[in-house]
Amino acid sequence: MKWFWQKNRASKLQKAYEKKMQEAMNAQRSGNIQLSAQLNQEAEEILAQIQEEKA
């Protein structure tokens, strides 16, 4: 039953990706374009990891 409680790595990465994208959107709305670009870059790296996991 232990496997039941363990989360899938891809789902954790998906949540992290969504959080980074939300932070990037908020940064852009507040006018901090440099932070938004940095957060988008980090989100892209997480997305690449997600695609790697699914492959």
Print the domain residue range for 34: 7-54
Say how far apart CA 6 and CA 49 lie, in whole Å.
Answer: 19
Residue identified by tokens 């959080």 is 19
Residue 36 in domain: yes
Residue 29 in domain: yes
Say how far apart CA 24 and CA 34 lie, in whole Å.
Answer: 10
The overall average pLDDT reported for the chain is: 88
Residue 33's contacts (CB-CB under 8 Å, 6 or more residues apart) are 27
Residue 22 in domain: yes
Residue 2 in domain: no
* Secondary element (H or E) of residue 19: helix 9-29
Contact (CB, 8 A) for 23 and 43: no
Residue 1 in domain: no
Split into its structural domains, the chain has a count of 1
Residue 26 in domain: yes
Model confidence over 4-40: pLDDT tens digits? Answer: 444 678 788 999 999 999 999 999 999 999 999 999 9
